[in-house]
Amino acid sequence: MSERIRLALPGKGALEAATMNFLAECGLKVRRSNPRQYLASMKSLPDVEVVFQRAADIPALVQSGDAALGITGYDILAEHRGYGDDVTDEVEEDEEVLVLVKDLGYGSCRLVVAVPETWIDVSTCADLWHLVGYYRQHKGRGLRIATKYPVLTGQFLRRHNITHCKIFSPHGALEAAPLTDTADLIVDLTETGTTLRENHLKLLEDGVVLRSQSCLIGNARLLGQDAHALKMTEIILEMIDARVQARNRSLLTAYVSCNDQELVQQTCARINQRLKAMGISTEFRLMTPDDGAAPGSYTISGVARVGDSAPELLEIIAVLRAAGATHVHVTPITYRFTESSVSVRALRERLKRLR
């Protein structure tokens, strides 16, 4: 019997719920009889053991090999590795932790520099640089910056030539630090910026340290040496890729009454030209006639991003109706498999370079 591989998942908060929902959508539903249990399984992949951990601990767990795979926030991984997006391929190839899918499509947020809104003359990092000099000259100290991401914050400041700052990680909510005068500014995660504004903080115009979202990571050594672990990982990547490709997409099927197949093809071409002129990427094609279809009836179909915009869907419907199409069916797509999985192909190429 093959040894089970371990997948580490976030065990608390919104990221846990979102991850469980996402995996279920991918056909990888996690079976967990008790929410307090740390171990769980997948019915569709019995050889995968699921372990729930703090999201902050998952990169180290994968790096050590205690888990072959893990899902966590990209911000957490970047802080653990000591660098963000500004990294060369050569550096990534030396890493023990591989980013298998950088964006799983949920958990999006930004790591940003936020200053008191009373600092009316500070709106960019250049302004912050000037303020550092003012503090040193008139207050005899540097700026105090509260953050849970000291490594990424330090790198960001150095890129903007901002030095002589005290970076520290306080307990509790960071937004309160400037209000209680324990810090001058903060570097924190935000989704919409609402919480920052409610605490009288504002974002710098060029103060985005990192854009983050949930990501899938893997241990390079285990995947390179264990064929079974690699096989399970490729199955997971295939299902994730297929689900991400299908997200917000639906199959539109319309029926056209006509006795001439060539005329239907011309109608289909006019529909596509009209949609292209409207900036809509959906392309309709004539389906192979069904032996059981009614005489003089043809079917055309196309894939559209229905979930993104209801008005765009209705614009497509209007074009189909104007061309004589009737009974337009909209069927959500669960999975969309391409010629080959981009993530699987990328993983194989990276493992080859590591050998």
pLDDT score of 13: 84
Q: Which H/E stretch holds residue 99?
A: strand 97-101
Cα 222 from Cα 231, distance rounded (Å): 12
Tell me which residue has tokens 């900036």. Answer: 279
**Which of 10-14, 93-97, 260-264 is the least confident region?**
93-97
Confidence of residue 86 (pLDDT cuts 50, 70, 90): low
- For residue range 128-164, list pLDDT tens digits in order: 999 999 999 999 999 999 999 999 999 999 999 999 8
Which CATH number fits the domain 250-332, given the four candidates 3.50.50.60, 3.40.50.300, 3.40.50.150, 3.30.70.260?
A: 3.30.70.260
Non-local (6+) Cβ contacts of 269 within 8 A are none
With bands split at pLDDT 50, 70 and 90, how would you rate the model's confidence at 289? low
Task: Name the class of domain 5-107+213-246+340-354.
Answer: alpha beta
**Distance (Å, rounded) from C-alpha 24 to C-alpha 30?**
7
- Amino acid 104: pLDDT: 96
CB 167 within 8 A of CB 150: yes
Predicted TM-score of the model (pTM): 0.88
The token pair that represents 335 in the structure block: 């999975």
Give the CATH class of 109-209.
alpha beta
The residue type found at 353 is R
Give me the pLDDT at residue 291, please: 47
Report d(CA 320, CA 272) in Å as an integer.
10
Is 1 a residue whose pLDDT tops 50?
A: no
- Indicate if the pLDDT at residue 297 is higher than 90: no
Report the share of the chain in percent with pLDDT over 70: 94
Query: Please, what is the average pLDDT of the chain?
Result: 91
DSSP secondary structure code for residue 57 in this structure = G
Residue type, 176: A
At 255-282, the pLDDT tens digits run: 888 888 888 899 999 999 999 999 888 8
User: Could you identify the residue written with the tokens 């996402």?
Assistant: 22
Which residues on neighbouring strands pair with residue 208, listed in sequence order?
A: 112
Contact 167, 145 (CB under 8 A): yes
Confidence (pLDDT) at 310: 81
Structure tokens at 65: 């090999």
Side-chain-side CA neighbours of 276 within 13 Å: the count stands at 8
Q: How far apart are alpha carbons 203 and 175 in whole angstroms?
A: 12
Given a contact cutoff of 8 angstroms between Cβ atoms, the answer to whether 132 and 125 are in contact is no
**307 pLDDT exceeds 70?**
no
Residues of the chain with CATH 3.30.70.260: 250-332
For 21-70, the pLDDT digits (tens) are 999 999 999 998 888 889 999 999 999 999 999 999 999 999 999 999 99
Share of the chain above pLDDT 90, in %: 76
pLDDT at 90: 46
In the chain, CATH 3.40.190.10 covers 5-107+213-246+340-354, 109-209
How far apart (Å, rounded) are the C-alpha atoms in residues 169 and 174?
9
Inter-helix orientation angle 342-354/227-246, to 10°: 150
